[in-house]
């Protein structure tokens, strides 16, 4: 651990900038080779600076999940934003309309008539129509129309509605479900095109399967978020290695009550309880023999080999199970630059729940 990290108060979220830059470049390069537009999801970092870095590296624009995130990114002059969310209700629609005046290329998704009709109503008198993609459930079992025929029906409704225009198709597939997604999307795209509808964007996403993003051949665009920092869940899947993990929780051992137990000052309010199918709550870098077996809100309990104990006051770097939620738990983070310099930074869009 570099000396500079010895004086930061813990728990802290530390981001290694050089790894971030390498991760951005590597996946951009993959997408460029595949002829895929890349539209990174900012939910992971929630930072204007890294959204800009992703665009400067060649990304088409960014993805947001909430209007609040998009508002922060618009404040940072990001001009191409896809919000992959059904937006409804008068307050949110009013905010979306206001956002569209600031973001030249703004698009959203819809998977039902209520959402389409709400968007159309509020954009009916807009100078520029809002682009709407049809969200398809290709196996992820979250939102989305269930069949290509339903996608066609909703696409027709969008195309026929005032104030909005059809942009194409969007999915968030199940992990490992790229081929199912490709089959669904190919069929739906063909139905749209046969119907004379626009389907210029076919966008899928997800870091777990990002290195086979274009295997189905139908996608025009890919959305990935976690790849910028990576995390333990992605190492376990084989998507990346520990050296590719840019986001670390720095914690201090505050207690060693027994020879086999150490307690750190990072609990579920720093690491989150997300398991993502894993056992335990994170990976202690350089100490694969240590297990993080339990979290309470402000304590993490570590099982250690009594022959290789940790000492009170000792610090550990942890790769969290799921880095996207960790980013959202810290108001301020530390960016560790390649030269070892540490810079404190506010997490611009942290906590933008609406």
Interface residue list for a copy of itself (CB under 8 A): 7, 9-12, 43, 65-66, 85-86, 88-92, 111-112, 114-115, 137, 141-146, 252, 254-258, 261, 263, 265, 268-270, 272-275, 296-299, 301, 312-313, 324-325, 328-331, 351, 353-354
Token code pair at residue 18? 């050089």
Structure tokens at 120: 């159309």
State which H helix or E strand residue 271 sits in: helix 268-271
CB of 296: closest distance to a copy of itself in angstroms? Answer: 7
Nearer to a copy of itself, 161 or 220 (CB): 161
The nearest distance, CB 294 to a copy of itself, in angstroms, is: 8
Least separation in angstroms between CB 229 and a copy of itself: 14
Q: Pick from 202, 244, 204, 206: which is nearest to 225 by CA?
A: 206
Which is closer to a copy of itself, CB of 184 or CB of 330? 330
Nearer Cβ to a copy of itself, position 26 or 278?
278
DSSP β-ladder status, 315-320 and 282-284:
antiparallel
Q: In terms of CB distance, is 331 or 339 closer to a copy of itself? A: 331
DSSP-H helix ranges across 40-139: 48-56, 67-75, 90-100, 113-123
The Cα–Cα gap between 329 and 196 comes to 46
CB of 287 to a copy of itself, least distance (A): 20
DSSP string spanning 79-97? -EEEEEEE--SHHHHHHHH
The smaller minimum CB distance to a copy of itself, of residues 105 and 315, is found at 315
Of 54 and 86, which has the nearer Cβ to a copy of itself? 86
Short-list 281, 200, 230, 257, CA closest to 37? 200
Query: CB-wise, 89 or 241, nearer to a copy of itself?
Result: 89
Sequence-distant (≥ 6) Cβ neighbours of residue 119 within 8 angstroms: 87, 93, 96, 108, 110, 130, 132, 161, 163, 164
Distance between the two ends of the chain, CA-based, in angstroms? 38
What's the min distance (Å) between Cβ of 353 and a copy of itself? 5
- Residues 235, 207 contacting (CB under 8 angstroms): no
Minimum CB–partner distance for residue 313 and a copy of itself (Å): 6
- The residue among 30 and 85 lying less far from a copy of itself, judged by its C-beta, is 85
Shortest CB 196 distance to a copy of itself, Å: 26
Q: What distance in Å separates the CA atoms of residue 21 and residue 347, rounded to the nearest whole number? A: 18
* Shortest Cβ 56–a copy of itself spacing (Å): 26
Strands 221-223 and 201-205: parallel
Q: What H or E segment, with its residue span, contains residue 325? A: helix 323-327
């Amino acid at each position: 651990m570099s000396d500079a990290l010895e004086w930061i108060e813990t728990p802290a979220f530390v981001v290694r900038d050089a790894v971030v830059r390498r991760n951005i470049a590597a996946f951009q390069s993959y997408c460029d080779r595949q002829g895929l537009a890349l539209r990174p999801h900012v939910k992971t970092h929630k930072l204007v600076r890294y959204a800009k870095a992703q665009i400067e590296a060649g990304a088409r624009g960014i993805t947001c999940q909430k209007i609040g995130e998009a508002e922060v990114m618009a404040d940072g002059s990001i001009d191409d934003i896809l919000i992959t969310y059904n937006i409804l209700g008068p307050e949110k629609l009013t905010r979306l309309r206001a956002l569209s005046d600031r973001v030249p290329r703004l698009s959203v998704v819809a998977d039902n008539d209520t959402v389409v009709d709400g968007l159309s109503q509020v954009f009916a008198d807009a100078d520029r129509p809002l682009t709407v993609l049809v969200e398809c459930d290709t196996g992820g079992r979250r939102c989305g129309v269930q069949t290509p025929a339903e996608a066609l029906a909703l696409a027709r409704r969008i195309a026929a509605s005032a104030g909005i225009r059809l942009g194409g198709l969007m999915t968030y597939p199940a992990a490992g479900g790229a081929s199912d997604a490709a089959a669904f999307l190919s069929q739906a795209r063909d139905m749209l095109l046969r119907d004379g509808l626009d389907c210029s964007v076919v966008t899928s996403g997800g870091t777990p399967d990002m290195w086979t993003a274009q295997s189905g051949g139908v996608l025009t665009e890919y959305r990935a978020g976690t790849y910028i920092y990576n995390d333990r869940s992605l190492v376990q899947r084989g998507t990346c290695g520990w050296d590719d993990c840019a986001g670390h929780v720095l914690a201090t051992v505050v207690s060693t009550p027994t020879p086999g137990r150490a307690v750190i000052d990072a609990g579920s309010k720093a690491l989150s309880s997300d398991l993502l199918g894993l056992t335990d709550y994170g990976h202690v870098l350089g100490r694969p023999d240590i297990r993080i077996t339990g979290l309470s809100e402000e304590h993490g309990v570590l099982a250690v080999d009594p022959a290789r104990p940790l000492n009170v006051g000792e610090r550990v770097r942890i790769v969290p199970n799921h880095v996207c939620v960790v980013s959202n738990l810290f108001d301020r983070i530390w960016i560790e630059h390649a030269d070892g310099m540490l810079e404190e930074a506010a997490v611009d869009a942290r906590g933008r729940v609406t």
